[in-house]
Structure 1
């Protein structure tokens, strides 16, 4: 058994012990476990956990040698446990963490397109936060930590925001989190950049959906279309959006109405089809779409179009970067 596996099992043992003692979901026990470890004390409310469990947990926590672990290792274990929480608690598929390889592709485009200045960046469907935080860490690394960001995250699920809060802390990232429906007014300044893996499915609040041009004429509206419209409404003039979206809204029948509307509202910069192998079936396939809001001196460009064959080959990312540089020199620079 390697170090990571042993450590994962030791943390898992702590979470399950607390889950049983408090009679809560795996996710709640997970966030409380990391809160206990970070604060160096076991939280007790209304007599729970009891003294026997406190003693048992104290021994289990001591075996972890938590303070000697690197933040990178803590974050790795927490991410694995978050995946387990999504499965254990039967959470929605939209709440699954975004694969790390996708954040690498998004960071590549952000490094090329974004100005080197302080930026307000938000994820209006932040979930566990792993997409936004992975992208931010890559931007900081590429700019030797000189990057300056003001970060905001929105989610309507308190458990997801608890995960995001812990992940931000372990990643040494400052962020303000809001528990709200992202299709209602945002409570912070207009962002320069939006990064998000958009929730896919139907939006249940038909009355609110009527405020959007992308609403369905009959029945529930598609949440991902409403999200894109909300992002455009809130994005600063000239601001960028880097979004993971269902592939079917960009082409074929699904895109025949939506894409002309989108092309009228923003300047499309790039569409990157993600590898077929990354999804269980063709109906779940996704793409990254990059667009820029209209603004002073902002002009249209040829759209960067490509499809990634695989996430497994480093050569594929190198080829993508070469094509991106060629496109940028020809169209943006």
Structure 2
């Protein structure tokens, strides 16, 4: 049994007992389990377990809870996508990371799995902030961060309202897809729909640019049909005025339950007077993740793209 499976076994058994004894929802029981672990009420020992083992174990438990939950906003970014985002963050900040940590914000934190995957992959080179409106999800993220010893500053609020966040080097975000209900707040955005309700995923892109430093990057998991909607023309115009598209990466279809759920990775770089537009926009498709040879060739292509994309004026 893998170490993360051993940890999950301990955590799951304790959470199930809390469900049975107290009539809790599984996710609430899991939160209690993590908090009890932190304060020493519940103890387990798996020799040689590391931060990734702990993160994976908690992720499996959260996924179990989400399958039982009726809450539509209880969803998680899968590891595979998180690791791909981490790779692109590392590529885009390869030289910068040699001089210290980068500041990163996830404005749609959820339970933190995407952010913590990136933090673990970059091994201490991230100063992180997360924003999440759902109380249960942000408490799960806080407990996970403490247990895997990844420091993160958390804000519980609507991420499309004014944030108490300084501009960051990078935004990472699995965009919440759908209509944004607060039309009054949406009026403050360039991407506010001229008629009807605005797309939340468009507003998150604009808000991310608001909190990105000049020359900084944003790494979005986007719906594969993002640029095909009736509001796509407005989005194109906004992006052209504020950022350079660095890459659009199509993800393997077999990672998603249906075509409607398919996603891509969009990498934007905020305009800077000290930089010029990239020589080449990377348009690529990630091969089947089980094809190691094709995957190695894909990552080699990414490396060559970054090396050939000198943006200095």
Question: What TM-score does the superposition give when structure 2 sets the normalisation length?
Answer: 0.89
Contact 2:105 2:172 (8 Å CA) reproduced:
yes
Q: Does 1:260 align with 2:218?
A: no
2-structure distance, mates of 1:323, 1:68:
39
Per the TM alignment, residue 69 of structure 1 is displaced from its structure 2 partner at its CA by 7.1
Q: Does 1:36 align with 2:36?
A: yes
Contact 2:222 2:263 (8 Å CA) reproduced:
yes
SS in 1 for 2:161: coil
Moved over 6 A (4+): 1-4
Aligned runs of 1:150-299 on 2, under 5 Å?
Answer: 150-251=127-228, 255-299=232-276
Per the TM alignment, residue 197 of structure 1 is displaced from its structure 2 partner at its CA by 0.6
Per the TM alignment, residue 3 of structure 1 is displaced from its structure 2 partner at its CA by 7.7
Q: Does 1:134 align with 2:117?
A: yes
1-structure distance, mates of 2:152, 2:70:
27
Q: Which residue of 1 aligns with 2:89?
A: 110
Contact 1:248 1:254 (8 Å CA) reproduced:
no
2-structure distance, mates of 1:254, 1:30:
40
Residues 252 and 309 from structure 1, CA distance in 2 versus in 1: closer, same or farther, beyond 3 angstroms? farther
Cα offsets for 1:15-70 (capped at 9, x unmatched): 122123333322111111121122122xxxxxxxxxxxxxxxxxxx57xx447572
Per the TM alignment, residue 231 of structure 1 is displaced from its structure 2 partner at its CA by 0.7
1-structure distance, mates of 2:2, 2:242:
52
Q: Which residue of 2 aligns with 1:83?
A: 63
How big is the alpha-carbon RMSD for the aligned residues of Structure 1 and Structure 2?
Answer: 2.3
2-structure distance, mates of 1:259, 1:75:
37
2-structure distance, mates of 1:319, 1:35:
43
Cα offsets for 1:243-285 (capped at 9, x unmatched): 1011211347663442233122201101101111112222221
SS in 1 for 2:249: strand
Q: Choose between structure 1 and 2: higher helix proportion.
A: 1
Structure 2: unaligned runs, 5 residues or longer? none
Q: Which residue of 2 aligns with 1:97?
A: 76
2-structure distance, mates of 1:249, 1:74:
34
Cα offsets for 1:194-241 (capped at 9, x unmatched): 011111111111111111121222322111000001111121111110
What is the aligned length? 305
1-structure distance, mates of 2:229, 2:154:
36
2-structure distance, mates of 1:298, 1:250:
26
Per the TM alignment, residue 182 of structure 1 is displaced from its structure 2 partner at its CA by 0.2
Question: What TM-score does the superposition give when structure 1 sets the normalisation length?
Answer: 0.84
Per the TM alignment, residue 171 of structure 1 is displaced from its structure 2 partner at its CA by 2.2
Cα offsets for 1:110-136 (capped at 9, x unmatched): 222111233211100011111111112
